[in-house]
Structure 1
Amino acid sequence: MNRPAPHTLRTVTGDLPVGSVGGPVLAHEHLVLDLDRRGDGAAVLHPELHAAAVTAELATLRVESGLALVVELTCRGMGRDIGALARISRDARVAVVAATGWYYEPFHTPEIDAGDVEQLTGVLVREIEGGIDGTGIRPGVLGEIGSHGDVPTPSEAKVLRAGARAAVRTGLSVATHAQLGRGGLAQLELLTGEGLPAHRIGIGHQDLLDDPGVHRELAAEGAYVAFDTVGKTSYQDDRTRLRLLLALVEAGHADRALLSCDISRHGYLLDEGGQGYGHLFRSFLPRLRAAGADDDLVDLLTRRNPLRFLTGASEEDN
């Protein structure tokens, strides 16, 4: 099995040594996306219409905030365009890790109904080993593999199990979509039940779930807890996100938190008056610092944690 080399990230422009990532990482973003189910074109980041604005934002963040890496979690059935990701990465001079997997059930593709868990595992392994859409560009993470509700549907359970098996076979990690933060514990049980260690799992959208007890339980099991919709105030205000993050830190689990903004429609771009990919750096992290976070904690949350999540390394390794 062709696994990533130790301490190496698979990016859309080639392998990248972890040690070369000296700046922050956005742990859950979308640069190209199509989730349009209403026909209004809102939940879209088009590879031609919006790529220039996306590239400009990333390039600016590279200069202003040292942005070094974006984990791009657009997967099968979400409008993934691997060629566009490579162009954005090269033009912005920001590394990008691409993904494979399946989103939650409303966006499942026909192959999911037609295949069993092992057949779907094979689909993912082939992309991881051979590249996406004939490009030879290989994903460096599985995600965002999704469910909605407190318990995954049978179809969602199928793709979660397939994602876990593919991760075990290929040495990648799994990032999940837990709709509105719900169902994370059930996701973790399914994924670890397939033999995937908890430290190779990031449970998504936990900043939308106002339940510090669940966050502590996920972290205590060894999973990463993603506060990854920072700035999406229509879902949750950032004051609540900050309170939840601080509670997790104060409980001794700072090494299990991931941060990002999950830009998932063009209206969120700065060019269109939205908060942009830089909201984490320009707004949320200053609030975190004002609450007492020092440079080491910020580096842990924004660089070391996502790198350990992607590679399976321990804190001592970076």
Structure 2
Amino acid sequence: MNSAPATVRGVQGDIDPGQLGIVDAHDHLFFRSPLLAGQELDDVDLARQELAAYAAVGGGTVVQWTPYGLGRRAAELPALAEATGVRIVAATGMHQSAHYAPQLLAARKTDLAEVFVRELTEGIAGSGVRAGLIKVAGGFHSLDAHARWTMRAAAEAHHATGAPIAVHHELGTGALDVLDLLCEELEVPAHRILLGHLNRSPDFVVQRDVARSGAYLAFDGPSRANHATDWRMPDAMAALAEAGFAHRLLLGGDTTTAGARSVSGGPGMPYLLRRVRPRLTEALGKDVVEQVLVANPAAAFAVEWR
């Protein structure tokens, strides 16, 4: 019996991975958290303008890592994709506990994996949009009880659907602990794991160990909160490419506040292609940068869905 072809689950339906074009592999169109009060990404028209600006410099796809309960506005995403021509991939999952009211966490204690599976296979409530990845998060050099709970649920949902798991690493730390839990204990294949923010802890030894596992390393920038690591990113990525791990690299913008959008005066999504891409081309060469922006995300997000 032949298996189904691998596809990327977009907000308008499943996509042939060869049709993604240039991919911003980690970003946010909408995001709302009590930790970022007054800086919410919740304006639909500004989201449309940002996508249009990204498309104007050659962007083809955006993967939104905003998980359950943080203002994803999933119902708005298909119309935004239609209006701008930019493909969008939405996320299920759950962030660190500090982003949520205690009563919301308590309400999901017994059915978190079920929520993830339902959003991946049936759709996010009130939207008809199916998620294409699972987003979870670790802590600073640690995995607390909340992180272990959400990662266990993510692993269960992965085994039920095949969906990739994307991980927020606080200040870029804890990646090896995440791999120990997800791969060794919970038996998630490493190539189905995307480890975010690894440029924010520029430890080349850890980065090589992560790449050697088969997981993807998602570098994101520019980052106001972690600007000191932005200038190290080309060297880190070049070192990994020279070590034979160019096929494990992803790139994203991670726009998390309203002021960070390009249409609001920040760098935003277009900056990845206007400024970051030329800088990376100097360090890695044009062919490797093309691989990072096109071929790698096509492989990372494509799933033989179950």
Question: In the alignment, is the contact (CA less than 8 A) between 1:199 and 1:312 conserved in 2?
Answer: no
Query: Is the CA contact (8 Å cut-off) linking 1:165 and 1:195 kept in structure 2?
Result: no
Equivalent-residue separation in structure 1 for 2:19 and 2:291 (angstroms): 16
Deviation at 1:131, TM superposition (A): 0.8
Pick aligned residue for 2:177 from 186, 197, 201 = 186
| TM-score after normalising by structure 2 | 0.92
Letter in 1 for 2:219: F
- Aligned match of 2:29 in 28, 31, 53? 31
In structure 2, what is the equivalent of residue 316 of structure 1? Answer: none
Root-mean-square deviation (CA, aligned residues, Å) is: 1.9
The one-letter amino acid paired with 2:17 is V
Q: Which residue of 2 aligns with 1:218?
A: 210
The verdict on how the C-alpha distance between 1:91 and 1:102 changes in structure 2, with shifts beyond 3 A counting, is same
One-letter amino acid of the counterpart of residue 144, structure 2: T
Structure 2, unmatched stretches of 5+, are none
Separation in 1, partners of 2:26, 2:67: 12
Residues 264, 38 of structure 1: alpha-carbon distance in 2 compared, 3 angstrom cutoff? closer
Q: CA offset at residue 250 of structure 1?
A: 1.5
Query: Which of 184-193 and 202-211 deviates more?
Result: 184-193
Spell out the pairing of 1:196-207 with structure 2 (5 A cutoff): 196-207=188-199
Q: State the Cα distance separating 1:262 from its structure 2 match.
A: 0.2
How many angstroms apart in 2 are the aligned matches of 1:38 and 1:29? Answer: 16
**1:135-155 Cα shifts (integer Å, max 9, x gaps):** 321101111x11112121111
Distance 1:122 1:97 in 2: 20
Match of 2:297 among 285, 306, 311: 306
- Identify if the C-alpha distance between structure 1 residues 304 and 10 changes in structure 2 by more than 3 Å, giving closer, same or farther: same
Q: Distance in 2 between matches of 1:189 and 1:151?
A: 12
* 2:79 equivalent in structure 1: 87
Mean Cα deviation higher: 230-239 or 245-254: 230-239
Superposed CA offset, 1:101-136 (max 9, x none): 0001212464544555x7321221122221101332
Q: Distance in 1 between matches of 2:263 and 2:107?
A: 41
Structure number with higher relative contact order (C-alpha < 8 Å, ≥ 6 residues apart) = 2
Structure 1 residue 45 corresponds to structure 2 residue 41:
yes
Q: Distance in 1 between matches of 2:132 and 2:240?
A: 27
User: Given the superposition, is the C-alpha separation of residues 111 and 273 from structure 1 closer, same or farther in structure 2, using an over 3 Å criterion?
Assistant: closer
Show the 5 A alignment for 1:47-196: 50-65=43-58, 67-108=59-100, 110=103, 112-113=105-106, 119-143=111-135, 145-192=136-183, 193-196=185-188
Counterpart residue identity of residue 165, structure 1: E
Range moving further from structure 2, 134-143 or 198-207:
134-143
Which residue does 1:10 correspond to in 2? Answer: 9
State the 4+ residue runs in structure 1 displaced beyond 6 angstroms.
none
1:9 is matched by which residue type in structure 2?
Answer: V
C-alpha contact 2:36 2:257 (8 A) present in aligned 1: no
Find the residue that maps to 2:112 and give its secondary structure: helix
- 1:292 Cα offset (Å): 4.8
TM-score by length of structure 1 reads 0.88
Q: Could you tell me which runs of 5 or more consecutive residues in structure 1 were left unpaired when the two chains were aligned.
A: 314-318
Letter in 2 for 1:12: V
Q: In the aligned structure 2, how far is the partner of 1:271 from the partner of 1:134?
A: 28
**Counterparts of 2:127 and 2:46 in 1: how far apart (Å)?**
24
Q: How many residues align?
A: 299
Instruction: State the distance in 2 between where 1:261 and 1:281 align.
Output: 10
